[in-house]
Structure 1
Amino acid sequence: MIKLNLPDYNFKFKNSENKTLIFDNLRKKYMVLTPEEWVRQNFVSYLIDVKKYPASLIALEKQLTINNRKKRTDVLIFDKNGAHNIIVECKAPHVKITQDTFDQIARYNLKLKANYLIVTNGLAHFYCKMDFTKETYIFLPDIPDYN
């Protein structure tokens, strides 16, 4: 996998049926190592190791229903009271982040009402804080550390 714009982490890998798998510490199982999964695993490690978000508050591929269609958030982080705090949308490194990507995460947030949105392809990271009164988001230079 390619080097991302994130710190280096030591992951466990194995091969099975001609596929490379990566061990997911949150789900406690091996996952197929796709480019998007590579970004997700690295970004979650960054959130835990650098930003100090407790692993117990992070959910991966959480299902939600929008317009009678089942969708999944890549990463959903709760606050200490159990409310939705951050949604992270991960794309493969070769996928350009466009307005469509922001529209996708904004649609998810109409339902979830998280305070922050993050869009990343592992190379570029975009951090937004929601302004619910103006129904918009404000770009930030970084996501706040967990406090």
Structure 2
Amino acid sequence: MMEPQINYSMPVLNLPPVEVQVDEIDGKISIFDSLRKKYLVLTPEEWVRQHIILYLVQYKEYPRSLFALEKGLKYNTMQKRFDVMVMDRDGKPFLLVECKAPDVKLTQKTVEQVSVYNKILGAPNLCISNGLQHICLAWEEEKGQFRQLSQFPDFG
């Protein structure tokens, strides 16, 4: 018996291929989140987030158990939510990733958004991605500033 085809259209991203599970649930196209073990409504931003998670786990060998997703944080009096945080083996922030939909241009404003979140979290590595373009930054202690990386940082 053949699986019924689910019609959805999402762009091919600038990441190595990963296998995502897409299904129709309650009339909505949904994508399986392998970390939270549940289906989430498929939005362009969720498409990017799931691809980045699978890329980091499958290609960069980041441990699944060290991810935190869409957690709230307070900046001044504002409630904010980060997209993806990966901890190091000591439980300290290692990588903060802000995901945007593929049609959202990455600008200084998007870099500033992740920088604001990082004032609270203190991750030494930051990435902003719309799935097509990735801006990855690493903190250089001696210079007191971030420098751009050519790819997502290696874990460990």
**In structure 1, how many angstroms separate the alpha carbons of the residues matched to 2:56 and 2:144?**
26
Q: Which residue number in structure 2 is paired with residue 44 of structure 1?
A: 53
Identity in percent: 46
Question: Which residue identity does 2:32 align to in structure 1?
Answer: F
Instruction: In structure 1, give the amino acid aligned to 2:61.
Output: K
By how many angstroms is 1:9 displaced? 1.6
State the 1:12 CA deviation: 1.6
CA distance in structure 1 between the aligned counterparts of 2:60 and 2:42, rounded to whole angstroms: 24
Q: What is the 5 A alignment of 1:11-22?
A: 11-22=20-31
Matches within 5 A, 1:1-147: 1-131=10-140, 134-147=143-156
- CA distance, structure 2, for counterparts of residue 8 and residue 131 of structure 1: 31
Unaligned runs of at least 5 residues, structure 2: 1-9
After superposition, the CA RMSD in angstroms is: 1.3
Distance 1:80 1:18 in 2: 40
The DSSP-based 3-state class of the residue aligned with 2:86 is: strand
Higher alpha-carbon deviation: 133-142 or 29-38: 133-142
Q: Give the number of equivalent residue pairs.
A: 147
Give secondary structure in 2 for the equivalent of 1:43: helix
Deviations 1:1-39 (A, max 9, x none): 110001222222211343200110101110000000000
Deviation at 1:130, TM superposition (A): 1.7
Larger radius of gyration: 2
TM norm structure 1: 0.95
C-alpha change, 1:134 and 1:145, in structure 2 (3 Å) is: closer
**Distance in 2 (alpha carbons) for counterparts of 1:21 and 1:43:** 17
Specify every segment of 5 or more residues in structure 1 that has no aligned partner in the other structure, as ranges.
Answer: none
In 2, the alpha carbon distance for the partners of 1:61 and 1:133 equals: 31
Amino acid at match of 1:127: C
Stretch deviating more after TM superposition (84-93 or 132-141): 132-141
Q: Distance in 2 between matches of 1:107 and 1:132?
A: 18
1: CA distance, partners of 2:141 / 2:73: 20
Moved over 2 A (4+): 131-136
